[in-house]
Structure 1
């Protein structure tokens, strides 16, 4: 276990919950500066490790299991998703292409001949599709080149990771913070990117991410 790996795991756990490292510490009842980068080494350069008590508190406050956190430490890029059994071929397109015309129909389902195919774990939704992540707004959970499976049929709840298309044609992967009759609030998992707010009428569809390559 390396020092950098355990801090990366803490950063990823925070991002999975839509939090900065400081907000994660605060939620766990710790000093908000506990996980700041400046606290990860002593003034003379020695490595500073989080205490087992701190780790226990962040696991308790987020509901994450020790096994899930251990997987992050050993190299997993995201918390484990529930993976359906079996494999299937799904339509695949790059996130950067997805905002173009002709790739989705009016219902938000894959359409047209511009899609490639990829073999991935199967899902029950016959309209499921795969996207190749681009950009840095979802770091450290999703990295450029990662593949996510998106299910239009899956129920979407607050806190879910979603793919959405806006009325101006933008397609993006975000975290759903809140959805009301009038407003939709979305967050980037990367805390360096700002939250986004839309009028509900400006969101054409929201589809839930149900699986991600790691």
Structure 2
């Protein structure tokens, strides 16, 4: 399974390969020099933070490296040896009919795709955020990777689709046989309490471009 430390170590190695510090690598890519600082690798609350896909794309372009080159710098043989093609689904598509089966797995073909180290779920997919309903955590254009088969625990960030077609990113506060409590990521939206019958599917967010 891909870990935060694997990705940050690969960034450090990419910088070293190019004779740069992590801040020097960020500067060459046109990013804020503090983007890859140690202090930026966790949130103020102490939670681990992933580098954004945008910042990774910029440093790969700045160093003329491919994503495969970057994966080769990851100190994890399982990750390096196993890549999967992940469909990228638009936020509007996620709320439409016919794009998912009853278990929350994407169906059909013709999606955009991205190559990503294996996340432990062959049916994982990427959801491209559109609009501001998931701010401030997920912004317009961000990519989140969702695993329908991942087990759900209290405190997990999840994507939920209701029987009415609403798709939302929430934090799972509590799940019982009779109700599911969901904390809004956007503070402008209130706590949601739904019955299991109101939820079409709920899947855990396993990676986000933040």
Q: TM-score scaled to structure 2, two decimals?
A: 0.61
Q: Secondary structure at the match of 1:85?
A: helix
Q: Which structure 2 residues correspond to residues 25-44 of structure 1 after superposition, within 5 A?
A: none
Question: Alpha carbons of 1:163 and 1:73: their partners in 2 closer, same or farther (altered >3 Å)?
Answer: closer
- Residues 137-175 of structure 1, C-alpha deviation per residue, up to 9 Å, x if partnerless? 332221111101111111111111001111112222111
Aligned residue for 2:79?
85
Which residue number corresponds to residue 41 of structure 2? 71
Cα 1:93–1:174 shift into 2, 3 Å:
same
Provide the rounded CA distance (Å) in 1 between the counterparts of 2:196 and 2:39.
35
Unpaired runs of at least 5, structure 1: 1-66
Q: Which runs of 5+ in 2 are unaligned?
A: 1-36, 51-73
Shift in alpha-carbon separation, 1:169–1:160, aligned structure 2, 3 A: same
| Contact kept in structure 1, 2:170 and 2:185, CA below 8 Å | yes
Query: What residue in structure 1 maps to residue 105 of structure 2?
Result: 109
Deviation at 1:73, TM superposition (A): 7.3
Distance 1:73 1:183, change over 3 A: closer
- Deviation by residue 1:163-191 (Cα, 9 ceiling, x = unmatched): 11111122221111211111111122121
For residues 86-121 of structure 1, what are the alpha-carbon distances to aligned partners after superposition, in whole Å with 9 as ceiling and x for unaligned? 432101111122111111012211102352212233
How many residue pairs match? The answer is 144
Residue equivalent to 2:139: 143
8 Å CA contact 2:43–2:49 kept in 1: the answer is: no
1:91-130 equivalences under 5 Å are 91-130=87-126
- Note the aligned Cα RMSD (angstroms): 2.6
Shift of 1:72: 5.6
Cα separation, partners in 2 of 1:119 and 1:191, compared to 1, 3 Å:
same
Please name the residue that 1:181 is paired with. Answer: 177
TM normalised by structure 1 equals: 0.60
